[in-house]
Every structure is written in C-alpha cells, then in structure tokens.
C-alpha cells in the first residue's frame, strides 16, 4: 500500500516565498498606477509514468511555476502572466498588464470581488497528502496494473497502456483589498486501458482511480482487472434499429449530464443569453425528488476549496431543491452583469452533489425494464442555447430488467430541458471521482438512432 505524508513545516518556506511574491506584485502594480490589482502565484511538481505491454513508454518529472496579475485602472482591466519570478520579470509583467488596461475600454462591471465577500479564514480541508513515489516504484505499480488486465482473460489481446501519476501544488492568491490566502493540494491517479478480441471483433475499455490521498487509491491489480472486465463485456456488440426507449446513464456519464446543467446556469452563458435555462430561477427544472447541492468543504474531496479564484469564501448551498432552480453559478463579474451577488464560483463548482436515491444498479435495471443502458458516450453534440442533445453512444440493451447484449454505433438524442424534467430515478451508485458526484440517472424514452 502507498504511504501518505500529510503537511509539515517543510511547506512553510515555500509558502512564505509565494506570499512575498504576491505582495511584491501588488506593490509594483500600485507603483505603476493601478487603482486595484489581484495576483496569483503557484508552483507544482509531479511524476507520471506510462507502460505498454510491460515496457516503459513515458517517464516524466514535472516542475512548473507561474504568476499572473490583473490590474484595474479605473474600470479598465489588463492581465499578464509569466513563469519568471525575478524582480525585473515582475516589473515587466505588471507593466504589460497596465499597458493593456490603459488601452482597454472601461467596463462598469469590472473589478475585484467585494471586500465583504472575501474569506475571513481558510479552513484546513485535508487536501495535501504527499506520496513519496520514486520512478522505479511507479513503474512497478503500472506494470502490475497492466499485467492484471492482460492475464485476466485470454481474450485480452492488447493494451493501450497503464499509467500512474502523482501531483502536488501550492497556490497563493492576493488582492489590493488586503486579502492573501492559499493552500496546498495533492492528486494521485492510476489508470489502465486494454483491448479485448474474439471472433466478433475488437473492443476497448478502461478504468481509473483518483484521490487526494494515495492510500485511498484502488489497488493496481483491481484497476487493471476492472478495465479488462469492462472490455470483455463489450465483445459481441450489435447495432440497434432506430427506436424510442428509456435510457439509463451510468454514474460516470450521469455526472456529464449534470455538467451540462451547470454550464447552462453559469453567469457567462446567462448574461450572454446563450442558455436554454435563461430566466428559470425559481421554476421547476427537474422532478420534485431531485436535489442538487454544493459542499465546498468536504475533507479530501477532489473539488474542495476554502475560497474561489477571487478569494470569495465558499459555502454550502442548494442549487436545486425540490426540483426548483434555487441559484446560479456566478463569479463577481457575471453577478454584476445580472444584478446579483457572486456565489463563490469563480473557477467552477466545488463538490456538486446530486442527492442519491435508494436504488442500486440492479434495481435501476429492473425499473428500466426494456431499454438502453449507456456506458460510453462519444462526440460533443450539445447545444446549450437550445438544449438540443445528440451523442454517439454504446452500452447494453436490456429487456425485462436483464442485460441481453452489448450495443454500439448508435446515437441518443433529445433536448436537455425535457431530459432533466423526465428523470425517473437517481441511483445510489455514486461516482465520487470528480467535482460532480452523481449516481446513475434513469430517463424517460429518448430517441435511439441506429441502423
């Protein structure tokens, strides 16, 4: 099992350096005539390894750093960035940002986040768990993962590789309202993709595990074996005749549907009037049993954050309650454009959770009855202005609650507005490997286009 190292005093010198750089950038901005400014400085490092058929294909050590500054001269805005932390580079970067601001038209909505919305304290969310992994150990784990897949069944004939990655980062943000805060994070992952083959042809599939804490990763062999099983069950895939059928989205795909909902209630889409959910606040978007909430402070979670990209404090809130849209996803700029307040979402949502129902996968298949269980999607056929949805798909055809055979080369189509309203059930099989946590979603009939 991998070992985890939690934050120690060894991070303090690096943190102090980044805080000093932020202060220097803001001071330089004042000297060069900015009426307000904000700056972010970050550094990160990591290791990634991929192997294929037992041979090392890539081995990379990463070290990155950068700084960015946004200045305001009145309500004209300029932004510049660099990876050079020397004093002269900071001077030149700020000068570039100020030059841009002086040639940019004033925007009445531009500016820093309101001071009263900034985080007063930065809670420790347990996001830093260093994995002292060396290249040789990473290669062993990646090979173990791939070997478990290749030896799982004689029909696993080839591999697209197994990979392992570990990443650590530290970021500090500050602005001329006096705010300065930051925190360290880690992220570790293990993945595998293999190809199964029999007389019916070849099918590929994959699986992965990701966590802040390396001790919470799935075992390397388990990841490989699951990738193999997923590829094997795709063998013998058929095409379907075009029809209308209820559709069950697997959890890892269901969160994508919720991602389309989030994109439609983002401030940028709303003030541009480029969303099918325009002016829907307080109205029914989902069935009454659907509740969606944001929980930014979950320990170790992949999308936890004590404050957003503008220093605004994050907080628990409901986006959807009883099926009704309760709020939007706003930063300070889009909030002002809409005559509203920021929701602390500069940079995105923080642990968005679709409240799970009571049914597991088998029970959902029984409720599906006869229809399509979608386990993979292709393409990007989503129009957020109209809500039109059309994606290539593969999965399994189900009859009387029992899987009959795998299907591929089909397209599923509908309109997101109807799809959201026609959700029949939310599963309890939640996929927590991302910023959106959701179980399977069962929807009323959609168009399934095949041959």
For the segment 395-409, the average pLDDT, to the nearest whole number, is: 96
Does residue 148 have a pLDDT over 90? yes
What residue has token string 């109205």? 283
pLDDT band with cut points at 50, 70 and 90 for residue 451: confident
374 DSSP 8-state letter: E
What residue has token string 């986040």? 113
User: Minimal CA–CA distance to 405: which of 448, 364, 440, 370?
Assistant: 370
**Model pLDDT, residue 380:** 84
Which one has a higher pLDDT value, 2 or 103? 103
What residue has token string 């841009």? 100
Q: Is the alpha carbon torsion for 396, 399, 405, 407 positive or negative?
A: negative
Mean pLDDT of the chain: 95
For the segment 368-379, the average pLDDT, to the nearest whole number, is: 95
For the segment 400-419, the average pLDDT, to the nearest whole number, is: 96
* All structural domains of the chain with their residue ranges: 13-232, 237-451
26 DSSP 8-state letter: H
Q: Is the alpha carbon torsion for 391, 397, 398, 402 positive or negative?
A: negative
Whole-model pTM: value is: 0.93
Question: How far is the C-alpha of 50 from the C-alpha of 63, rounded, in Å?
Answer: 18
* Helix (H), strand (E) counts: the chain: 9, 17
**Model pLDDT, residue 11:** 72
For the segment 34-58, the average pLDDT, to the nearest whole number, is: 97
For the segment 37-60, the average pLDDT, to the nearest whole number, is: 97
Q: Which pLDDT tens digit goes with each residue over 184-217?
A: 999 999 999 999 999 999 999 999 999 999 999 9
Task: Give the up-direction half-sphere exposure of residue 30: CA atoms within 13 A in the CB hemisphere.
Answer: 8
DSSP states of 267-316 as a string?
HHHHHTT--TTTT-TTSBSS-TT--EEE-TT-TT-TT--SB-TTSBBP--
Question: How far is the C-alpha of 165 from the C-alpha of 242, rounded, in Å?
Answer: 42
For the segment 432-444, the average pLDDT, to the nearest whole number, is: 96
* 431 torsion bin: left (phi>0), alpha (psi -120 to 50), beta (else): beta
pLDDT band with cut points at 50, 70 and 90 for residue 13: confident
- Domain 13-232 = CATH 3.30.420.40: no
**Model pLDDT, residue 5:** 60
Question: How far is the C-alpha of 267 from the C-alpha of 349, rounded, in Å?
Answer: 12
Share of the chain above pLDDT 70, in %: 98
């Amino acid at each position: 099992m991998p070992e985890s190292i939690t934050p120690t005093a060894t991070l303090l010198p690096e943190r102090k350096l980044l805080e000093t750089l932020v202060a220097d950038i803001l001071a330089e901005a004042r000297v060069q005539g900015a009426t307000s400014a904000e700056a972010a400085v970050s550094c990160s490092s990591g290791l990634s390894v991929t192997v294929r058929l037992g041979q090392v294909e890539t081995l990379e050590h990463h070290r990155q750093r950068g700084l960015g500054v946004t200045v305001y001269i009145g309500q004209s805005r300029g932004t510049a960035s660099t990876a050079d932390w020397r004093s002269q580079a900071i001077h030149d970067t700020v000068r570039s940002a100020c030059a841009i601001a002086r040639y940019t038209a004033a925007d009445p909505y531009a500016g820093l986040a309101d001071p009263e919305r900034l985080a007063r304290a930065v809670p420790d969310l347990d996001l830093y768990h260093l994995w002292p992994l060396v290249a040789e150990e990473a290669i062993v784990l990646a090979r173990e993962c791939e070997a478990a897949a290749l030896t799982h069944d004689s029909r696993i004939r080839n591999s697209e590789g197994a990979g392992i990655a570990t990443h650590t980062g530290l970021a500090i943000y500050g602005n001329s309202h006096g705010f300065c805060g930051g925190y360290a994070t880690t992220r570790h992952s293990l993945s595998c993709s293999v190809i199964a083959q029999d007389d019916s042809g070849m099918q590929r599939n994959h699986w992965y595990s990701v966590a802040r804490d390396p001790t919470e990763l799935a075992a390397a062999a388990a990841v490989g074996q699951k990738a193999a099983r997923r590829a094997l069950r795709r063998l013998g895939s058929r095409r379907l005749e075009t029809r209308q059928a209820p559709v069950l989205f697997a959890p890892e795909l269901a969160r994508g549907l919720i991602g389309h909902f989030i994109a439609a209630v983002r401030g940028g889409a709303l003030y541009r009037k480029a969303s099918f959910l325009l002016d829907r606040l307080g109205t029914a978007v989902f069935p009454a049993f659907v509740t969606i909430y944001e929980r930014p402070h979950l320990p170790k979670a992949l999308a936890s954050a004590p404050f957003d990209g503008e220093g605004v404090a994050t907080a628990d809130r409901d986006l959807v309650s009883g099926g009704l849209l309760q709020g939007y996803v706003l930063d300070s700029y889009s909030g002002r454009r809409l005559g509203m307040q920021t929701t602390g979402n500069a940079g995105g949502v923080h642990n968005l959770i679709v409240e799970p129902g009571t049914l597991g996968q088998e029970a959902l298949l029984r409720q599906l009855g006869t229809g399509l269980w979608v386990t993979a999607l292709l393409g990007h056929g989503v129009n957020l202005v109209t809500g039109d949805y059309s994606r290539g798909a593969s999965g399994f055809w189900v009859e009387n609650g029992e899987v009959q055979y795998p299907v591929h080369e089909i397209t599923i189509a509908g309109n997101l507005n109807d799809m959201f309203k026609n959700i029949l059930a939310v599963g309890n099989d939640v996929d927590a490997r991302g910023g959106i946590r959701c179980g399977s979603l069962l929807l009323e009939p959609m168009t399934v286009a095949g041959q």
